[in-house]
A = this chain, B = another copy of it.
Amino acid sequence: MKVHNSSEKSAPDETCSSCASAQPHNPQKGLPPKATIDVKHVILVLSGKGGVGKSTVSVNLATTLASKGKNTGLLDLDFHGPNIPKMLGIEDQRPAVLANVIEPVHVTGNLSVISMAFLLPDTSTPVIWRGPMKMGAIRQFLTDVNWGALDYLVVDLPPGTGDEALTIAQLAPNVRGAVIVTTPQDVAVMDAIKAAKFIEQLDLPVLGIIENMSGMACPHCGKDISLFGEGGGKKAAEDLGVPYLGAIPLDPAMVRAGDEGRPYILRHADSPAGKAVEKVMENLIAQIEAEQK
């Protein structure tokens, strides 16, 4: 079996160049043209392994940026598990569509969201799509949505280095890099390193690594519990020579906040986990601003 990996870098589209949904190629690079969207900075939130807290990081990053006065869009590209709307308590909303332009759901005056979840009849309907259909949808989510003039677009990706991540990296303009979320568990760190290598192969900077679910305090006795080991995120960042943005402990209140539809950082700013989230977001925003210079 022939294994393609890094050789895919410059021509990942060619496996499907004859599809109806394939975009015309840029003849110079063999890549599709960038989508038309007015955004200064696109930030990808990625992981290797699933269930490590990408969506929690995306929601907290977008709400933090918006709270600092930035015009912020949050794009949920997890077609099969689009959980951002539920985490923000807006899962029952539907974007208006006028003359083929989709109006995103506005959480606040300067925070707008688009997710596949808004376009499904109910929360139990699965999206059974192969890659080429996702590619077409991603282009629409960039081009056909009335985002307005965005300072930031935060993109929450499904785990892994497949169609969604490749497509957004190719189609979105001004991609400033990716933040990679992992737990301390060996298998998660191994996959986070793959995700970092993927970002580097796309010639994008890794803005940093966040270690999530980094232990917890027992709610009964207060002692520290090591759930998934410790230090894996920091070690991966050191090995890769990329910024380490900090660790966030597991806090059942954070899980409930997601289930109840309120960004954790807004509700628990004074708890140890809330302070950790705030610190990690500060580090991440500093890193994003450093990349702009």
For chain A, residues 1 to 30, give those with C-beta under 8 angstroms from any C-beta of chain B.
Answer: 1, 3-6, 8-9, 12-13, 15-16, 18-21
Main secondary structure of the interface of A (DSSP, over half): loop
Task: Check A80 against B191 for contact (C-beta < 8 Å).
Answer: yes
Residue A259 at the B interface, CB < 8 A? yes
Residue A241 at the B interface, CB < 8 A? no
Smallest CB separation, A184 vs chain B (Å): 9
**Set of chain B residues within 8 Å of A146, measured between Cβ atoms:** none
| Distance of A210 Cα from B226 Cα, bound (Å) | 24
Residue of B nearest to A218 (CB): B218
Residue A81 at the B interface, CB < 8 A? yes
Partner of A162, one of B1, B18, B121, B131: B131
**Set of chain B residues within 8 Å of A194, measured between Cβ atoms:** 80-81, 123-127
10 other contacts beyond A3-B120, A12-B130, A80-B191, with CB at 8 A cut-off? Answer: A1-B102, A15-B130, A18-B19, A123-B190, A128-B166, A128-B198, A129-B162, A218-B225, A225-B225, A229-B256
Residue A83 at the B interface, CB < 8 A? yes
Binds B, one of A37-45, A47-55, A65-73, A268-276: A47-55
Residue A158 at the B interface, CB < 8 A? yes
C-beta contact mask, A83-106 vs B, less than 8 Å → 1, else 0?
100110000000001000010000
Binds B, one of A132-140, A147-155, A171-179: A132-140
Partner of A158, one of B159, B228, B255: B159
**Set of chain B residues within 8 Å of A218, measured between Cβ atoms:** 218, 220-221, 223, 225
- Please tell me the size bucket of the interface on A: 35 or more
**Set of chain B residues within 8 Å of A191, measured between Cβ atoms:** 80-81, 83
Partner of A125, one of B129, B197, B250: B197
Residue A36 at the B interface, CB < 8 A? no
Known: A52-B51, A125-B194. A132 touches B221 (CB 8 A): no
Residue of B nearest to A226 (CB): B252
- Max chain B CB contacts within 10 Å: which of A55, A119, A125, A219? A125
- Max chain B CB contacts within 10 Å: which of A55, A78, A160, A198? A160
| Distance of A223 Cα from B126 Cα, bound (Å) | 38
